[in-house]
Amino acid sequence: MNDGFVRAAGEIAREAGQFLKHFSDHHRLNVEHKGSAYDFVTNADRESQRLVAERLKAAFPEHRFVGEEDGLDDAAVAEILNGDGYCWVCDPLDGTVNYIHHLGLYAVSVGLARGGESLAGAIYLPEWDELYTAGRGLGAFCNGKPIAPSDANELASAFITADIAASSPLLKTPNLERFHRVALAAGSARIEGSACVCIAQTACGRQDAYWNMGLHAWDVAAGIVILEEAGCAVSDIYSDPFRFDMQGGFLCTAPGLKGAFRAVIPHP
C-alpha cells in the first residue's frame, strides 16, 4: 500500500474537520431534511464534501470519488467499490444531528477502496483534534501513535455503543428492540450518534464494540482499514465477511468479543 494515500487522506480529513469546527461560528447553518424526516443535511455537510472532493480530485485525478451527499444508493456505491479502480469514499460530516446541536461527537471520514477492500483511510475528530489513520499492511495510528483494541472478552463487562437506524418508524422499533437485548447483556451501552466516532474509539480500545443496522459505505470505508490494522474484528452482524452493500449491517469489536456479541443480537 502506498503510504502517500494515507497521508493524503489524513491531511484532507483534518482540513475538512477544521473547516467544520469553525464553520458554524461564521455561517448560519441551513438545516434540511434529506430523504426522510429523520435524516438531516446542512450547508456545512455540503461545503465539507466540496472541499474533500476538490482536494482528492486534484491529487488523484485518475481515481473516482463518492461522497454521502452525491445521493447514490448502497447498491450503486457497492458496485463502484467492488470494481477494479481506486475510489475515494467520503463522509464529510458524520454525526450531523450532534453537529447541529453543538455536540462534539462528529467526524470527517475519508477512505480509499478497490476490489471490495478498504485500503487506506482517515477519520478526524475535530473537537478532540484526533486523527486516526491506517493503510493496508501499514498499521493504525492516532495522531501518529500506534493504536490497538481492548482485551475485552466478556460481554457482561464490555462497554458497547450503537446507533438506531431511524429512516422510518418500521425500522426504528425493531432496532430499539435489538439494542435493548444487547444492552441487557453488556456491561454498559450507549447511543452516541456518530458511527465514525464510535469506530475510532473501538479501534483505539476506549470502547469494546460498536454495531449498526443502518449504515452506508461512506460511514465505514475508512474505518474498516483502521479497525483491521489496529487488530479489531470487523464483519456483517450475522455473517462473514463484511460487504459494501451494507445489507448485513456492521459490527466491529475487540477480537475476543465478536462471537459473544453476535450470540445476543436477535435476527431480523
Banded pLDDT at 70 (limits 50, 70, 90): confident
Rg of the chain over Cα atoms, rounded to whole angstroms, equals 17
Q: Quick one: pLDDT band at residue 170, thresholds 50, 70, 90? A: low
Helices (H), 1-92: 3-26, 43-59, 74-81
User: For residues 193 and 183, what is the distance between their CA atoms, to the nearest angstrom?
Assistant: 16
Kindly report, residue by residue over 230-255, the tens digit of the pLDDT. 999 999 988 888 889 998 889 999 99
The strand pair at 87-94 and 107-114 is best described as antiparallel
**Which pLDDT score is estimated for 130?**
98
Task: Give every CB contact of residue 118 below 8 A, 6+ residues apart in sequence.
Answer: 111, 112, 136, 220, 221, 222, 223, 224, 225, 228
Residue 1's pLDDT is 63
The dihedrals phi and psi of 262, each to the nearest 5 degrees, come to: -60, -35
Q: State the amino acid at position 110 in one-letter form.
A: V
Q: Give me the domains of the chain, ranges plus CATH numbers.
A: 3-146 (3.30.540.10), 155-264 (3.40.190.80)
Least confident of 34-43, 223-232, 246-255: 34-43
Confidence of residue 68 (pLDDT cuts 50, 70, 90): confident
CA distance 9 to 121: 6
Q: What is the distance between the alpha carbons of residues 142 and 200, in angstroms, rounded to a whole number?
A: 9
More confident residue, 68 or 190: 190
The pLDDT of residue 39 is above 80: no
Report the predicted TM-score, pTM, of the whole model to 2 decimal places.
Answer: 0.94
pLDDT digit string (tens) for 118-130?
Answer: 999 999 999 999 9
Average pLDDT along the chain: 90
CA dist 43 and 108 (Å) reads: 15
Indicate the pLDDT class of residue 116, thresholds 50, 70 and 90.
very high
